[in-house]
Amino acid sequence: MSGETYAQQHHHYHRLRVARVVEETADARSFVIEIPDDKKELFAYLAGQYLTFRVPFEGRELVRCYSLASSPVCDDEHKVTVKRIADGRISNWMNDRLTAGSEVDVLPPAGRFVLREGETELPMLLFAGGSGITPVISLIKTALATTGRRVKLVYANRDEASIIFRDELEALRQANPERLEIVHSLDDRDGFLDSERAARFAAETREAEFYLCGPGAFMEVVERGLEAADVPRPRVFKEVFVSPEEDEPDEEDLARAAAADAGSTGCQTLVVTLEGKTVEIAYEPGKTVLESARGAGLEPPFSCEDGYCSCCMAKLVEGQVEMRKNDCLTDRDLGDDWRLTCQSVPQSRVVKVDWDAS
């Protein structure tokens, strides 16, 4: 790998080529990304992780995360799938502009929505909504290939034509009839998946681990169902799909942000470690760690900037921060001092964070 450290390479965008494009449905395409031999180690990934893309848009550069639908143990390619979103800037740009041979800037894989290390026996119950199937199918393929676990998928879509990976899922089911069960919940046939149905599914497999991925509203419904079924929170793993231009903060988020900002005026020293360098940067009260670092001309990793994706996480080495929002880090992550820098507002005189630790 050149003279740069692994951490430095991991935080840099890499110009990669689109090898081919696959039409999945009328409004979703998969993009197979070609990984050169000298970057294969850097782009090694776990099932459920995502790639972060930086694309030009109306004179600016915007960043989005898209999950890998391929499996690191079953597939020899990196494939992400992008579903069009109404008025979605980047989802439409990628579907309209990217073709075989196109080049795009990509960060190495990241993400916490992965199979629990060492678990080979507990059943899995997975809920996916729409394009939320992308990391879920990677988890399913990997679990079937590397463990003896029984797997059940509840997949919600508008109608049959909207089912992404329909043939691939059916092939997996036929190849694993004793271990894989698939339930398609179609809005036009079954009505919207509600909390009561989600609870019934959960009650049938109480001893399972639960994996959830989809739009925010879908996730809320499923989570309420799991709570009604008394599913222990430590056995629930989730990834929320959200487009920044569509997500508006609610009153609770605004109140939390205001409270964090109110206590942020005492920070006098903000020190960050990134790409092998440790620097002290100026801190403006009310700014997040990520905003401060970018304002100082640094280029730390980030994507959604809304507390969902974990791309920006760093180790809190010293001091205290208040996170405005957190929808991805677990209690264990927090106990190990990981923080989302896009949501972290300094609360102590000295704050030190280390991106290279990730």
What is the tens place of the pLDDT at every residue in 290-311? 999 989 988 888 877 877 778 8
Please report, for residues 53, 87, 310, 321, the alpha-carbon distance to residue 287 in angstroms, rounded to integers and kept in the order given.
25, 29, 18, 11
CA–CA separation, 135 vs 234, rounded Å? Answer: 20
SS3 assignment, position 168: helix
β-pairing, 124-129 vs 269-274, is: unpaired
SS3 assignment, position 66: strand
CA–CA separation, 29 vs 26, rounded Å? Answer: 8
Judgement on whether residues 208 and 142 belong to the same structural domain of the protein: yes
Query: What are the start-end ranges of the E strands in the chain?
Result: 14-25, 28-34, 50-57, 60-67, 78-83, 103-110, 124-129, 151-157, 180-186, 209-215, 236-241, 269-274, 277-281, 313-318, 321-323, 338-340, 344-346, 350-354
Judgement on whether residues 105 and 42 belong to the same structural domain of the protein: yes
Residue scoring higher pLDDT (339 or 86):
339
What tens digit of pLDDT does each residue of 212-254 get? 999 989 999 999 999 999 999 999 999 887 655 444 444 444 4
Number of domains the chain is built from: 3
Give the chain's mean pLDDT.
88
> Considering the domain boundaries, does residue 259 fall inside one?
yes
> Considering the domain boundaries, does residue 304 fall inside one?
yes
**Structural domain for 66, as ranges:** 6-110
Position 256 confidence tier, pLDDT thresholds 50, 70, 90:
very low
Position 352 confidence tier, pLDDT thresholds 50, 70, 90:
very high
Judgement on whether residues 237 and 129 belong to the same structural domain of the protein: yes
CATH code of the domain containing 313: 3.10.20.30
Output the pLDDT for position 20. Answer: 97
Judgement on whether residues 145 and 197 belong to the same structural domain of the protein: yes
Judgement on whether residues 227 and 184 belong to the same structural domain of the protein: yes
SS3 assignment, position 117: coil
CB atoms within 10 A of CB 4: 13
SS3 assignment, position 30: strand
| Last residue within a domain, chosen from 110, 133, 159 | 110
DSSP result, 223-261:
HHHHHHTT--GGGEEEEEE--TTT----HHHHHHHHHHH
Tell me the CB-side half-sphere exposure of residue 211, using CA atoms within 13 A.
27
CB atoms within 10 A of CB 107: 22
Output the pLDDT for position 87. Answer: 82
SS3 assignment, position 269: strand
Nearest-Å Rg of the Cα atoms of the chain is 21
Checking if the pLDDT of 263 tops 60, the result is no
Output the pLDDT for position 243. Answer: 54
Helices 195-204 and 216-228: crossing angle in degrees, nearest 10, is 50
Q: Assign 3-class secondary structure to 277-305.
A: EEEEECCCCCCCHHHHHHHCCCCCCCCCC
Q: Look up the pTM and report it.
A: 0.81
Q: State the amino acid at position 47 in one-letter form.
A: A
Judgement on whether residues 216 and 257 belong to the same structural domain of the protein: no
Output the pLDDT for position 220. Answer: 93
Query: Which of 61-75, 116-130, 302-316 has the weakest average pLDDT?
Result: 302-316
CATH code of the domain containing 47: 2.40.30.10
155 forms beta bridges with 128, 184
Output the pLDDT for position 242. Answer: 63
Checking if the pLDDT of 257 tops 50, the result is no
Contact 305, 290 (CB under 8 A): yes
Q: State the amino acid at position 156 in one-letter form.
A: A
Residue scoring higher pLDDT (5 or 218):
218
Position 356 confidence tier, pLDDT thresholds 50, 70, 90:
confident
> Considering the domain boundaries, does residue 332 fall inside one?
yes
CA–CA separation, 66 vs 109, rounded Å? Answer: 10
pLDDT above 90: percentage of residues in the chain? 66
| Last residue within a domain, chosen from 186, 214, 241 | 241
What tens digit of pLDDT does each residue of 140-169 get? 999 999 999 999 999 999 999 999 999 999
Q: State the amino acid at position 188 in one-letter form.
A: D
CATH code of the domain containing 143: 3.40.50.80
Judgement on whether residues 153 and 102 belong to the same structural domain of the protein: no
Q: DSSP alpha helices (H): ranges in 120-194?
A: 133-146, 166-175, 187-190
